[in-house]
Amino acid sequence: MTSTGTSVTATTGGRPRPAARRRRMPSLDRLSFMVVFLGVPLAIYVIFVIYPFGRALYYSMTDWSGFTPTYNFVGLDNFTKLFHDDIFMRALRNNLELAIVVPFVTIVLALAIASVVTVGGPSKGNVRGIRGSGFYRVVSFFPYTVPAIVIGLIWAQVYDPSAGILNAFLTKIGLSGFENFAWLGDPGTAMPASMFVIIWSFVGFYTVLFVAAIKGIPGELYEAARMDGAGRFRTAISITLPLIRDTVQTAYIYLGITVLDAFVYMQALNPNGGPNNTTRTMSQDLYNTAFRKGQFGYATAMGVVLAVVTLLFAAIVFAINHLTGGGERRLRR
């Protein structure tokens, strides 16, 4: 064994072995960095996310009325009652219907518009969008700038049976069957009409989002596909969609979470849940149960179920994306 100053090197079988490094205590700067950039965000997350959710889970197992300091612990009785509540189960089905239809239709329309205004221009020359694509982006984005409650109230007036401009227009062009037709009062049209409003309000935002993602794709890929004879639809399926797949996944999850709530739109369009509760959502049922019936414990159980459904929706989207090859940055030939 040899020693040079404070450094020690051990030998085993004539071969030198690096000296073991002593573990240094974290410096004050390192500790302060960890506290500020790790401890503080974690504390905020625990205080404002984990703790409220834990309290909500606890209150969901009580009979708290919301306005009294005392309440009784009832265990899982609220959840058992929920799944025997016909109104809540109808609201749950409505939410699932919204989560399936609205994100799919919105994203398909947004992808189509984004593709047209970015790479859907002339088939000769540089790859570019249609003429005046900037104008179409601005027009499509405009509905997103309007508050959701305003959109709901405007469309409620548009759908008005006697004074709405939709029935007036349809009657004007000769469709007399739509005179005084109640779009939001008919069980067959109430939900589709409500879905249209949500899709109309979101499609512009996702168009702009997908435009930004498509512009990040190298133009050489589109030129090569064009030279190989690929049409616009083939190019969109084989090049555009695979390369912006992560953006599409994020958009789908975000939009799905939004429509699983959909309280503002549905409350503005049909505050009473529509005919036979055809448009009632879980958030509307939660609001009525808590603030009109004074059953905050039962309403909190509804909120817990809504949170679980939302988490399951996100997990399903992630799983489908993974199973279908998501995250792989490759093109099919």
Q: Outline where DSSP puts E strands in the chain.
A: 2-4, 7-12, 15-17
**What 3-state DSSP class applies to 242?**
helix
End-to-end CA distance of the chain: 63
Q: How far apart are CA 141 and CA 133, in angstroms?
A: 12
Query: Which tokens in the block code for residue 266?
Result: 């549905």
**Complete DSSP assignment for 190-225:** HHHHHHHHHHHHHHHHHHHHHHHHHHTS-HHHHHHH
- According to the model, what pLDDT value does residue 330 have? 45
| Res 329: pLDDT | 47
Domain parsing of the chain, residue ranges:
86-323
- Fold (CATH) for 86-323: MetI-like fold (1.10.3720)
Residue 16, both tokens: 């030198």
3-class DSSP state of 165: helix
Looking up tokens 């939001």, which residue turns up? 184
- The SS3 of residue 11 is strand
Please give the pLDDT value at position 2: 46
263 contact partners, CB below 8 Å, separation of at least 6: 281, 283, 284, 287
Percent composition of the chain: helix, strand, coil (DSSP 3-state, to 5): 65, 5, 30
Cβ atoms within 10 Å of 58's Cβ, excluding its own: 13
Q: What is the pLDDT of residue 288?
A: 94
Strands 2-4 and 15-17: unpaired
H or E stretch covering 323: helix 296-323
Per residue in 116-171, pLDDT (tens digit) is: 888 776 666 566 667 766 777 778 788 888 999 999 999 999 999 988 999 999 99
- Which pLDDT does position 323 carry in this prediction? 85
CA dihedral of residues 227, 210, 311, 324 (deg, nearest 10): 0
- DSSP track, 54-110: HHHHHHTTB---SS-S---B-TTHHHHHHTT-HHHHHHHHHHHHHHHHHHHHHHHHH
pLDDT lower than 50: segments of the chain: 1-9, 19-20, 329-333
Q: What is the pTM of this model?
A: 0.82
Q: Is 271 helix (H, G, I), strand (E, B) or coil?
A: coil
Neighbours of 4 (CB within 10 A): 7
